[in-house]
A and B are shown apart, each in its own frame.
Chain A
Amino acid sequence: MGLIAFLVAAPLVTAVLLMLFRSDSARRVITSAAAVVIGVASVVFAVTYMAGGLTYFGLPQEITYAVSWVMTAVDIVLCAVILWFAVRYKNRIALVLGLIQTIGVVVFANMTLSEGAEHMLEQPLYLDQLSVIMVLIVGLVGSAICVYALGYMRDFQHHEPADAPDRRHFFSALMFLFLAAMFVIVLSDNLEWMFTGWEITTTCSFLMIGYTRTPEAIKNSFRQINLNMIGGIAFLAALLIIHLSGIPMSLAALIALGETIAAPLLIFPVILLSVAGLTKAAQMPFHTWLLGAMVAPTPTSALLHSSTMVKAGVFLLVKLAPLYAVFPAASAMVVTIGGITFVLCSFMAISQSNAKRVLAYSTIANLGLIAACAGVGTAEATWAAIFLIIFHTVSKSILFLCVGTVEHRIGSRNIEDMDGLFSRLPHLTRFMMLGILGMFVAPFGMLISKWATLVSFAETGNVLFLILLAFGSAATFFFWAKWIGKLSGVSQKAENVEKGVHRSEWVAIGFIALCLLGCCLGLPAISLGVVSPYLVGVFNSNPQFIGVDNMLIMVVIVAFIAIVLLTPFGRAHKRRVGVYLAGATVQSDDRTYLGSMERKMTSTKRNWYLEDVFGENVLSNVGTVVCLGVLVIAFGASIVLNPGFLAGGTFMVDREVLLVGPDLWGLLLGIVIFAICAPVIGCLLDGLDRKISAHMQGRVGPRILQPYYDMRKLLSKEQVSVNQVDEAYVTCALIFAIIAGGMFISGSNLLMTIFLVTLATLFVIIAAYSARSPYADTGADRECLQVMSYEPMLLIMSVGFFVATQSFDTASLLRLDAPIIWTNIPIFLGLLFILTIKLRKSPFDLSYSHHAHQEIVKGITTEMSGRTLAKVDIMHWCETVLFLLWVGMFFVWSDPVSIVIALAVMAVTWFLEVWIDNNFARVKWQTCLKSAWLVALVMGVVNLFLVLITPFI
């Protein structure tokens, strides 16, 4: 109890001190000390209460009454601040909304406070594992950001005009006030107090966004306050209805009530609270405030969008999760809005070149995912939501902080200007790459959470959302991969400009990076020790859908990637050579060469933004209109439909995931077998491919073992490289591909196999980008596009696998009575279509082709030579074998004869691919993307509707 008071009071006192002592040195001391104190206090708090689980804290009712008075007073002061600014800057909407809110607060206070102390809640404060996690997030990441702001704001003030007033004390004080409000939100069971915390965060962020007081900042801050006041008013309306219905003003009481026959009373409060949560979490149609907030100094963005403001929104939704299982209208609203926001914002992120806007869109998209998970309301989905919150916080805060610092170093936040940052800001860029990897690739927590999301949606049979998730994830890959590609370029004579980065910035970034790695490495422990007890407490079930052995393998891979990325491990000391510029290089580092008539030309390359496909203008409007429609329909349904139906539970078939995969030894055995057999088989297949192709063209062709000779020759060539890192990346890719195949043949998780293959591809892409060669860059760009093209179909395939087998483990195939092809014919056809892309066969061999008539300089592998190139080849052999196994998997069941059938189908498929390869010319990337997505969409929708909706009919 004392600790809670301390957690809330410490930031408040700090804020007051910061307003009193305004000198630079005093602020440094106060902020650092306060950050340490708050961080330590939140850790102590976590250690003290983590084991205890759900705990309520009683207060004498007189004190509760007094605190409620104070909270009401704070509400009114906040309203006054808003009204004052609305009048001063003549913003009519803010004035009207502010007045409505003021009246609401007064009316509500009049009702509750007039009842006197005896009607107050006896236990207004509580905590459970989720609150503890939130306290840790706010206390550790939030205070780290406050420390970061010290150094950042010094540079910021430096860049301002000379006569600009120094209001940095105000900024820092607001940040601490924010932390206090967050502690109130996550620890109050009393909804009235929570509302006050809610409004403090709204107003604080209004002031922080408008900090510079430029016209743009003021415009965006008003957009923020107007949209968030809609949420605030919805919250207030919910409180009024709750109070008028005679329900206690307590979050726990609401959830308990959901299980009783009085549930229909909650239809409107739940919808209104959801709207409040969605506005705060910047979901469509309210998402524009978060984009506008990017004009603010970067610590604001980091604080608002990674650890606090938006997390308050999703925190409320996750808290309400058990209720969504009861109220179908609210659940459908939250899931649909979350899903649409996820997919559209991921698309729009592709079209952005401003780093902060990419981060903003990615934030909104991920919050959409969290909201959708919460909206499902099952234990599995909540597991996913909680982990998404944790990992999004750490990864995104690193990225915001790094982008802020980079902006001050290189004077731009445009991704195009971050070319070759790997050499100019070596340490900062590595942290940034870690943050980006943390956002979207396999062994890192964010993707494990997405995996859990996929599983929980497959379990509940939500076809629409599965499709949205598949496409959104593919887009996510594209925009992160092209950004990390820009960062990873190694230039040989770049000047290191890292000197001016302040120590406070290093401390904050380093600390959060440690948190990120800690969370990834400790994921199994967090899951078993913290999240599972919470889910047992709330849902009475303890979901187990990812085997612990799989998690352990993930942990090992995370550690491995961190070592490769952050240490000099694996750096080859080979002779350095310049990039290939078609033989007339002037300066290979600047990519200058002699053009025709001896003119000096520079090769430049911009990332792909695909504005005509994923442009903001259209998608944003579509999202706003559709989501607004969803909101209106949800409210309309709540008014029109019968309350019994509206409180009658959501429709879903809950499918348990069976874990039938092997244990750790089985996995290791599989990996060893695959590592030995796959290259051999893949090599023979490659030789056969060349032989058959030659015969199709009326030639004799090379020897069957030709690929083996090629590989041996490459190994014996002189070892040179354009930089020190590319071979390390390619080695990683080879290892990941082998682990993926090993997991597949040992009978382990299919989804993990898919993710690891994608990870392997990403590492080849990074290796290609690191060369900064125009040809390799083009190849890598196209590879990214290919991954985006086939990824949805693969995810849909895994879902099809799940509905047929009740499991994601391939070992489950051997327990079936009929092969999964019976229920998955459309998905199988879709797989055949994208197999051409995955095997790099014409017409979809955009990134790299072995045909001389299609590829002049060898695309993605242009700058790889000798041993590095040999490793890429071996990786392709392994991948070929694995992809053919995916095809064969559709025809395996418990009968041993099925293995023969599967092998026959694999052989036919492979021959078909060779035939296609020899009979089609390469298509344009537009055709590749559009046709692959169309196939995935049609096949996915048809097949999944068929198998997932059938149980209802």
Chain B
Amino acid sequence: MGYSSKSPWLIHYDGSSCNGCDIEVLDSMMPLYDIERFGIINTGNPKHADIFLVTGSVNHQNINVVKEIYDQMLEPKVVVACGICACTGGVFRDCYNVIGGVDKAIPVDVYAPGCAVRPETIIDAVLKAVDILDEKAKKMKAEKGRG
């Protein structure tokens, strides 16, 4: 197991969500769920983060912001779409301003559906993401070794 999976720091971005999922994300940091058990820290700074946690759908105003945060994160990095809106646009998918799920803007590694997404699902998704993170780190290392 690599070190990336032991220390996944995440950044949380709220797209056009109804805030239900955001509350659940914060909830997972509370003593009951305590995601710091897994070494997870909510950093708020893309340059420090490994996991990009997006809630809510992508719209015309925030698509560039989502893209930029993603670009500013350093490899290896993974994206977790939290909640059905982030996965597909959810009930808002037909709104005039909504483009759709996060995967319309950036590549998504893990989809965590739910309305609102439950803390257990978030933790599951993050732990799933952590495995992908390790794989990416391994790949990066191999490339570095070759290059």
Give me the interface of A with B, judged by CB distance under 8 Å. Answer: 577-578, 580, 583-585, 598, 690, 694, 697-703, 706, 709-710, 712-713, 716-718, 720, 852, 855-858, 861-866, 869
Contact = CB atoms under 8 A, between A and B. Distances in A.
A694 B29 CA distance: 11
Contacts of A701: 34, 36-37
B7 A709 contact: yes
A699 B50 contact: no
B47 A710 contact: no
A583 B74 contact: no
Given A580-B45, A584-B64, A713 B140 contact: no
B7 A710 contact: yes
Contacts of A580: 45-47, 72
B41 interface: yes
5 contacts: A690-B36, A699-B31, A709-B7, A713-B4, A866-B74
Nearest to B70: A583
A696 to B, nearest CB: 10
Contacts, number: 95
Contacts of B44: 852, 855-858
Nearest to B64: A584
Q: Assign chain B's interface to a size class.
A: 35 or more
Closest 6 CB pairs of A and B: A709-B6, A712-B3, A583-B65, A718-B75, A865-B47, A713-B7
Interface string B37-80: 11101111111101000000000010011101100101110000
B31 A697 contact: yes
A698 B36 CA distance: 12
Interface of B: 2-4, 6-7, 9, 13, 29, 31, 34, 36-39, 41-48, 50, 61, 64-66, 68-69, 72, 74-76, 137, 140-141
A789 B100 CA distance: 51
Q: Which of A583, A697, A698, A864 has the most CB of B within 10 A?
A: A583
Contacts of B75: 717-718
B29 to A, nearest CB: 7
Nearest to B6: A709
A697 B37 CA distance: 13
A702 B29 CA distance: 12
Which among A577, A712, A852, A866 has the greatest number of chain B C-beta atoms within 10 A?
A852
B3 to A, nearest CB: 4
B68 A583 contact: yes
Nearest to A709: B6
B8 to A, nearest CB: 8
Nearest to A869: B48
Nearest to B38: A702
Contacts of A712: 3, 6-7
A321 to B, nearest CB: 55
Contact of B45 (A699, A710, A858, A866): A858
Contacts of B13: 583
Contacts of B61: 598
Contact of B37 (A702, A716, A865): A702
A701 B39 CA distance: 8
Given A584-B68, A703-B39, A718 B74 contact: yes
A764 to B, nearest CB: 16
A702 B39 contact: yes
Given A699-B31, A718-B140, A713 B72 contact: no
Contacts of A698: 31
A208 B92 CA distance: 76
A713 B6 contact: yes
Nearest to A584: B65
B45 A862 contact: yes
A862 B61 CA distance: 25
B29 A716 contact: no
B7 A699 contact: no
